[in-house]
Chain A
Amino acid sequence: MTVLTVPMAETGAASITRRTRVLRRLRRNPLAVVSFVVLALAGVIALLSPWLAPYSVDQTDFARTFAPPGTAGHLLGTDDLGRDVLSRIMLGARASLQVGLLAVATSLVIGVPLGLAAGYFRAWDAVISRFTDLLLAFPFLIMAVGLAAIRGASLGNAAVAIGIAQIPGVIRVVRSDTLRLKSLDFVAAAVVDGASDLWVLARHILPNATSVILVQATVAIPAAILGEAVLSFLGLGIQPPAPSLGTMLATAQQFAARAPWAAVFPGVVIMGLALAFNVFGDALRDALDPKGDRR
């Protein structure tokens, strides 16, 4: 049993104090707190947007097209069809977050097992590296172009294209963390103890790799949000009339000189979401850094 106390050191009690230390560091970082609050608010608004939005997203009002921001009843103005910009932004942000989460989930589901395998089994490493190289050769936009040609443009296909493009990044960080963990004593102890490869990976390596996976996910979500905006802007993502921040900007481009606000607000929201994720991701990485307060 003395052998078993070694593995517990990183999986059991120690990780609880580590978690509290990380949380304490996050709470002391004002940027982390602000970005977390912004993200929490955005999440709540996105979840409840179908009920919170003052108007239905496709409710047109041809008597009041291009109403400037501040018009009674239309806080952020109206677009070319007299649709309420605020309502469309709320539902567009919801779609952005959906694509962001869906894309990152796709990349994690495929990337984490492959990263674990590449780091743990020497024989698999070369094969998985070639697979990574292959994926990297198709930039997300080109992947989206191909998918749109084969399966048509949609929210789901945009998310899949972005998610596939993010797999190599996940494999890279999980692989290198697996290599690091594999060389530690507690893993060797578990192997000596007769644990199977699968058991070691699931019980010892994966739980300890969660922090790098978490950091990877927080930087991948803003990239996915920007990716969705680009694809929808080009017409390869969410299809109108469904609201998306990217398609809103594409239509706004056509009458930008007349109603600049329609081209400004959706962009500000995309940037705000991505910025909040990036700031929080930075803070999380710093808080998880065992070297402490080095930034």
Chain B
Amino acid sequence: MARYLLTRAWQSALTLLLSTIVVFVGVRALPGDPALALAGEDRSPEALEAIRRHYGLDQPLPVQFAQYVERMAQGDFGVSIRTGTPVSSMLTTALPVTVELSVLAILIAAALGVGAGVLAAVRRGRPAEWLANGLALIGLSVPHFWLGLLAILYLSVATGLFPASGFVPILEDPVDNLHHIVLPAVILGTGLAAIIMRQTRSAMLDSLSSDYVRTAKAKGLRPRAVITRHALRNSLIVVVTVVGLQLGGLISGAVVTEQIFGLPGFGKMTIDAVFQRDYPVIQAVVLLTAAAYIVINFFVDLLYSVIDPRIRVTGDPA
């Protein structure tokens, strides 16, 4: 276990370093002088000189990289060209929205996906299975942003059941907060639910035909008990695996969902930054996404090895 942990930690650290290099090089590949990009409106020679000195742009590249890592580690992502506020404070307001949206979407997807997956496996060859399979295929194929658009059009605008856009912080009014975020979370969760359903179904089919389930049935355990006991453990593994693998898709999905529902999160900040050529913000977004992905996946692997002890032995999360 300790060995596996160490290997994974070292691999994650290496990937983190590599992705920082990629972003560092990427920033230097931006069109034009980076000092010019960082300067924004004030492009006087003195201002440019000050920026070059502040960001060490007059130093050799390895020194620049070391300084860069130091600044990022301290949370100094520079100042937004557009708003003039530090990128770090923009992140502090935007991130909670995205985290709440994503966590809620994962919960909804897990509930729907596991439920439908178990149902499809148990009711094999019956209409319930076809329905669940069909819905999963549609969930995989439907563009969520379009689903969001239709939801706004037919649920929010037409009936007024949900607000069409906007956001209320959870600390200000938890009920209103949920009212604003539940529809976007359902939309974001659909794709994930479809993947979880398909994986749950096949994991359930495998375990239902396995020897230990046959033994459990032979012992006289009620079918319901067999299903719940084995389904629960297996589906936990499925959900953790799928969330780990689909994290990238989830982040991409959150960006689009926020854009459609006008949620002031990480995604909206990203898209606005691209169109306003707000390079410090883009840089922070790309770097932080990579870091978050690497760190979360490290913890997913840890969790995985806790749920499924076989992983610790082989060291290879399949």
Q: Enumerate chain A interface residues (CB-CB to B < 8 A).
A: 129-130, 133-134, 136-142, 145-146, 148-150, 165, 222, 226, 229-230, 233-236, 249, 252-253, 256-257, 260, 263-264, 266-267, 270-271, 274-275, 277-279, 282
Contact = CB atoms under 8 A, between A and B. Distances in A.
Contacts of B102: none
Contacts of A130: 11, 14-15, 18
Given A137-B293, A150-B31, A234 B140 contact: no
13 contacts: A136-B248, A137-B15, A141-B255, A142-B289, A142-B290, A145-B271, A146-B26, A150-B31, A230-B256, A249-B143, A249-B149, A278-B137, A278-B140
Given A234-B259, A270-B146, A271-B142, A138 B274 contact: no
Given A235-B275, A249-B145, A139 B252 contact: yes
Nearest to B31: A150
Interface string B1-36: 000000000010011001100110010011100000
A277 B137 CA distance: 10
Nearest to B275: A235
B318 to A, nearest CB: 9
Nearest to B136: A278
Contacts of A267: 142-143, 146-147, 149-150
Nearest to A227: B252
Sorted nearest first, the 8 A-B pairs with minimum C-beta distance are: A139-B248, A141-B252, A267-B146, A274-B141, A275-B141, A137-B290, A133-B15, A137-B293
Contacts of A146: 23, 26, 282, 286
Interface of B: 11, 14-15, 18-19, 22-23, 26, 29-31, 137-138, 140-143, 145-147, 149-150, 152-153, 157, 247-249, 251-252, 255-256, 259-260, 270-271, 274-275, 277, 279, 282, 285-286, 289-291, 293-294, 297
Nearest to A229: B143
Contact of A134 (B22, B142, B252, B275): B22
A226 to B, nearest CB: 5
Contacts, number: 137
A220 to B, nearest CB: 12
Contacts of B152: 256
The main secondary structure of chain B at its interface with chain A is helix
Contact of B286 (A134, A138, A270): A138
A222 B277 CA distance: 30
Contacts of A139: 247-249, 251-252, 289, 293
A29 to B, nearest CB: 14
B143 A230 contact: yes
Nearest to A143: B286
A142 B31 contact: no
A137 B286 CA distance: 9
A263 B150 contact: yes
B137 A275 contact: yes
Contacts of A141: 251-252, 255-256
B123 to A, nearest CB: 14
Contacts of B26: 146, 150
Contacts of B140: 222, 274, 278
* Of listed A137, A252, A274, A279, residue having the most chain B CB within 10 A: A137
Contacts of A149: 30, 274, 277, 279, 282
A161 B269 CA distance: 20
Contacts of B147: 267
A163 to B, nearest CB: 14
